[in-house]
Amino acid sequence: MTITKRSFARVISFSTAAVAALAVFSGIQYGERQKYQRNLEYSYMRAVEDLSLNLDNIRNNLEKGMYTNSVSMLSDLSSKLVSDAATAKSALSQLPIEELDLEQTYRFLSQVGNYSKALAEKCASGQQLTAEEKQNISTLYDYAVNLSGSMWQVEQKIQNGNVTFGAVNSMNAEDTVTVTDGFKDFENLDNNYPTLIYDGPFSDHIMEREPIMLKGEKEITEEEARRLAIKLTGTDNLTKTGDESGKMPSYVFENDKFTIAVTKAGGLYSYMLSGRQIERQNITAGKAADIAEDYLEKLGIMNAEETYYEVQGGVCIVNFAAEQDDVTMYTDLIKVGVALDNGEILSFDLRGYITNHTVRDLPKPQISEEKAISLVSDNLSVLDADLCVIPSGGLNEIFCYEVQCVSDSGQNVLVYINAVTGKEEQILLLKISENGTLTV
């Protein structure tokens, strides 16, 4: 059998094309596999973050359960525990750790919500919690603290690359530590698990309504807003970079140092930001708070009371709340960022204040401060009590006593007792460190 030169060339061409096509196909397949692996790794990382977040929530809500003294609050906390536990179990089931026996972890997640729900139902029927049941809540909390801490360590190892999702990438070296190995200590906790039959507080609620201070205000022009921005920053080197819409439409201006927003209705300063880096700290947080308060007075805000602060990257973020007749308005929040090297104002956020601030017709307390204190759990020692206004989940406001307490273990707790009905409305845990105070 013979073959012509033309046929031979055709065969060579077809073969070359086939090889090239195969190479392209292989490249596409490899790219798809890489894309699939990346997406799978991202989904695993989201599951890890969800698991860590919900374990933190379980720990915080169990601690609040130790300090509550009302049926309604216990019922609310139990509902959150049921939800958080279910989400945590769902996240755990998405991770490639099938070969691990996580029976104890699943058992904890299954029972923690159901047990607290059973206790809430018992109290709702008029019965009292026994000493053993109160101790069980405390023991569950201790277990949750260790479980949450172990999960945080696993998450840090994954983020640092010390633990990998070995089931996703089989090309890793033999000594790679997989996510399964990372979870071994997570399950093997010695916690005496019992046998059984939760930026300043309220910040999530303060900008969900139409801004009160902008209602009926005349809309200003872009040039009028620019003049206001120049007056605040002391420089005319500002460029308009956009318009913000939403519930608080604003003009936004920038230069190489500042970003500043001015509301279109009424021409109020909404927020200001600066990204200047702080290399050393020369002033204290207390001094920064004084500087922030003086700055607010220059802006015409005379009724703000300092509440909490936090130090981040050399900047002290001071939280303020409006005050009316010695009543703190936790709905009217302001944040001011002060550079700890020279006291310069690097940021402020007035959006919570603009959204909610108004003169209230406050009711007269129907229960005394002494009565409010008596409604606090015996597990807490009361330090002080003051009147305040907090937001409710339905965007309404609640007139309360803020009762400042401390537990036997030294945990600072805020209990909010309705000043009209005596209902325990909210419990917050204060996390105090050298960098400031956070609430959960």
pLDDT band for position 170 (cuts 50, 70, 90): very low
- For the domain covering 369-439, report its CATH number: 3.10.450
β-pairing, 327-339 vs 380-391, is parallel
Which residue shows structure tokens 């608080």?
A: 248
Contact yes or no for 409/402 (Cβ under 8 A)? no
Q: Are 427 and 198 in contact (CB under 8 A)?
A: yes
C-alpha Rg value of the chain to the nearest Å: 29
pLDDT at 22: 54
Alpha-helical segments (H) within 160-234: 179-182, 184-187, 222-233
Backbone angles phi, psi at 57, to 5 degrees: -60, -40
Measured CA to CA in angstroms, residue 338 lies from 306, 307, 313, 351 at distances of 14, 15, 11, 18
Could you tell me the CA-to-CA distances from 274 to 252, 255, 278, 349 in Å, in that order?
Answer: 13, 10, 11, 12
d(CA 22, CA 14): 12
Q: What is the pTM of this model?
A: 0.61
Whole-number pLDDT of residue 195 = 43
Mean pLDDT of 398-412: 93
- What CA–CA distance (Å, rounded) separates 221 from 224? 5
At what angle are helices 5-67 and 103-124 packed, to 10 degrees?
40
Give the model confidence (pLDDT) of 216-238 as tens digits. Answer: 999 999 999 999 999 998 888 88
Of 41 and 63, the one with more pLDDT: 63
> Domain extents for the chain?
24-187, 212-356, 369-439
398-425: string of b/e by CB count within 10 Å (b at 16+)? bbbbbbebebeeebbbbbbbbbeebbbb
Residues in the chain: 440
Euclidean distance between CA atoms 285 and 317, whole angstroms: 9
What is the arithmetic mean of pLDDT over 65-88?
82
Please report which helix (H) or strand (E) contains residue 218, including its range.
Answer: none
* Position with higher pLDDT, 72 vs 121: 72
Question: Tell me, what's the pLDDT at 72?
Answer: 80
- Containing 43, the helix (H) or strand (E) segment is helix 5-67
Sign of the CA dihedral with 95 first, then 101, 106, and 108 last:
negative
pLDDT greater than 80 at residue 182: no
